[in-house]
Chain A
Amino acid sequence: MTDTTPTRAEHKLARKMKRFENPWMNPKLLWGAGILIGIIVLGLLGRIFWDPELVFTGSAPLKLPPIGFENLRKQAGIWDFPLGTDGAGRDLLALIIIGAPNSLFVGLLASCVGMGLGIFLGFSAGFIGGRTDDFIRVISDVMITIPPLLILVVFQAAYGDVSLTMMALLIAAFVWQSPTRLIRAQVLSMRESGYVQMARLSGASTMHIMFKEMLPNLVPYLFGSFIANVTTSIVTAVGLEVLGLGPQRIPTLGRTIYEAINSGALIQNLWWWWGIPTLLLAVMFIGLLLINLGLDEVSNPRLRKLS
């Protein structure tokens, strides 16, 4: 008879395993989500506790440093504008409160629209097959070779001022290809699995099989792809904004950086003007990366570590 009493080490291991019973309680995922929610909350609460009107030109003194610092003219930061002001008299704190959620919004919206398109086209291609598959595959393969920034720069330079939503939709037109290909590949392999065959035999409609039977199995992949798309969309949006394109009056982090560069903020040592938005973008990307890593672990249990 063997001794079944667990050792201390096994106890510890079991506790850890228990903590991971729910794969969604993944620390990376939680941290990442926490960071993004923090940015959204900053946007929501900020609008209540801080004056959003301060994001507009000429609403504050020029070039004040953050609290505890001095600018080249030996002016110290003041509590009215705790993160300092830029060269056109805009409050940096207000810019962040309004600008950071805007950047996130563009990413989320572009990604949602792009994913929606991708899911629909990917399933159609993979499941229906034949001509439909050829058509969708060729289109997405062609589109994937076109650098989005190139087209967007030309488009926005030609049309000038666009709204945030418009910019998001434009970006969405370039982020549906990868999910389409990813989902098509998954659907192709799933199409022949037993439960799909069974559903087909019992006379379920194509739509039912695609979206009721198969889609739930793809959720972790979809999430992963979605987050990757959000990152791509934000990078694209910021890229456009840093070039001075995109919305003109609506504050975004990218546009703030563009204005800083354009107004000689580096040589004037106005580091807060470009530094704070850059830092915030970095934090945002770290948040997205953590979510992505977390989701990987959720969808692929082998990646979950025990320590």
Chain B
Amino acid sequence: MSFKKSVLLASALALAATTGIYAQEVAREDTVIFDLDRTIKDPENFNWFTPGTKRLHGAHQAMWEPLFILNYVSGELEPWLGTEFTANATHDVWTLSIRDGVKWSDGEAFNADDVVFTVNMALGNEDLSAREAATIRAQVASVEKVDDLTVTFNLKKPNPRFAVENFGVRIFGSFLIMPEHVWSKQEDPATFAFYPPIGTGPYKYTSGASNRMIWDRDDNYWGASAGFNDLPEPKRLIWLESGGEESRAQLMATNQMDVANTVTLGTFEAIQAQNPSIIAWKDGMPFAWSDPCARQLEFNTTVAPWGDANMRQAINHIINRQQIVNVAYEGTTETSRSIFVQYGGMEKYISAIEGAGMGFSSKADVAAGQALIEAAGYVKGADGIYEKDGQDLVANVTVNTASTELTRAVDVILEQLQRAGIDAKPVPVENGVFWGTALPLGEYELAYTWLSCGSINEPWASMGRYTAKDVAPIGERAPGFNNTGRWNTEATAAYSAIVDKMGGLGVGDPAIQGMVLDAYKYYRDEVPFLPIVQASKLLPYNTNYWTGWPTQANNYNHPAHWWGHMHQVLHNLKKAN
């Protein structure tokens, strides 16, 4: 065979091999295609304890099941692999009951050994740096197997929220249990790739590449034989990197994608105009679902001049939150009034904070901000930018380029700061860098994030993320992304003392209300981060092939499809006629 011929043949084979992955042994109408907003750097690594895209490409939505799932609508913790999680009277010993009949996809039984093994692995290995593993390390003293279906957790100190905080997919994910019979053979769990992965869920890993992950239904799924739930209808799930708003929109408009990540209002309207089967959480303005992670401007307090509380207050005055809502979010969200998510359950705390004069204004008071900057010794230069000792006042804002929402919001913030005399510049970074190094290691000055995220119906989860015990030196990982700004002053100490005490009280304890106000005062005096706006997720869902998506009218849970609660949604999907 001539060289030319062999090259031709080789390329034809290569082409056939790549298209083969998509070769439709599974029909489009049996497939659900999800949008992935990032590149999978290492598609053959499923060690979710270490940094990288290891879970939201379908692994924790389809393959690994959580113990419980928090229902955002009812506020209840719904049992999944676990059936019950109860605490003793002092909330420092928790007992987990595991569902009978759960099996790993290789046929091994899922039981207490897996739970004890996985928790012990996290406890004994600082290199397992995922937020959920770090939280377990911070809270659990020891874990014991009682019998095959019962496990006891002994906590370092009382925590009335232990179950929901760690095992209930409260925010994004939960502490996922790994198969002992696979992981126990590994010497170093931090370098183990866990490839090919197995889980207990109704889908098995089929193939993956840097821009997609494919999962096929496991017809031997334990849930069907154990009578827990039926096999989900979709035979195949694909997570596909769409690569930006424009292509995301085109894929949705042409029915080549069933679920997309957040788009801007204008784009959503355009998709809907082209494809009437596109829906969102609400069926009218503002269409969007507000996720519990309100947007905020984070300061690295170890970087001058942002260590100065007055400079941070100055930025607070200069920022016009309403303009951010109007321009960047096109009116699909509202301004943040406090550090908390504006859900019904949080309203009493938010009103109390506002009543005490500690709320955040939706409007700017640029003159007040400039007065604070001038009081710190800055003088406006000829170019309109403040200077001190010949140095311009610069604010470098790190922004995650994964979503147009984030870059647009930061554009507006930068503009407001520029106009007030601060040389504000964007530092655009890729998603992996943003979460992998920039934030946890403190390699930023200001950043647009949502790291106070946590509280849904009680204040401790968010407030507990900014305490003194989580302050890590720059260059070391902030535990669980807590206090990435390294806020560590006398006020932090006073704040932490109250918040830590609050952590030991049960949800709904009447003393909490007063303690929130006491602690909040220290926060508000120094504002280590600034709440900006409530998060607004305008997630287009396509009903052309599948119905049963979560919406405001059919609200069995919320629509954040990159979270671990998607198992519920998968079981709810029905083929469209």
Contacts and interface: CB of A to CB of B under 8 A. Distances in A.
A266 B273 CA distance: 14
Nearest to B401: A244
A58 B266 contact: no
A72 interface: yes
A62 interface: yes
B429 to A, nearest CB: 9
A57 B415 contact: yes
Contacts of B270: 72, 264, 267-269
A251 interface: no
Contacts of A267: 246, 249-250, 253, 267, 270-271, 274
A63 B271 CA distance: 16
A114 interface: no
Interface in B424-459: 425-428
A57 B412 contact: yes
A161 B245 contact: no
Contacts of B271: 267
Nearest to B253: A267
Interface size class of A (residues with CB under 8 A): 20 to 34
A249 interface: yes
B218 interface: no
A263 interface: yes
Nearest to A58: B327
Contact of A72 (B253, B264, B269, B419): B269
Nearest to B408: A88
A1 B428 CA distance: 85
Interface string B191-217: 000000000000000000000000000
A261 interface: yes
A56 interface: yes
Contact of A266 (B246, B328, B330, B415): B246
Contacts, number: 83
A274 to B, nearest CB: 11
Interface string B319-331: 0000100111010
B255 to A, nearest CB: 14
A72 B273 contact: yes
A174 B521 CA distance: 57
Interface in A248-272: 248-249, 261-270
B425 A248 contact: yes
B504 interface: no
Nearest to A266: B246
Given A56-B415, A57-B327, A62-B330, A263 B408 contact: yes
Given A89-B327, A161-B426, A264 B415 contact: no
A77 B28 CA distance: 42
Contact of B415 (A58, A62, A87): A58
B144 interface: no
B414 interface: yes
Contacts of A62: 266, 327, 330
10 A-B pairs with least C-beta separation: A264-B267, A57-B415, A264-B245, A267-B249, A268-B270, A58-B327, A161-B425, A267-B270, A268-B266, A264-B246
Interface of A: 56-58, 62-63, 72-73, 87-89, 160-161, 244, 248-249, 261-270
Given A264-B404, A267-B271, 11 more contacts: A56-B419, A62-B266, A62-B327, A62-B330, A63-B266, A87-B408, A261-B246, A263-B267, A263-B404, A264-B246, A268-B266
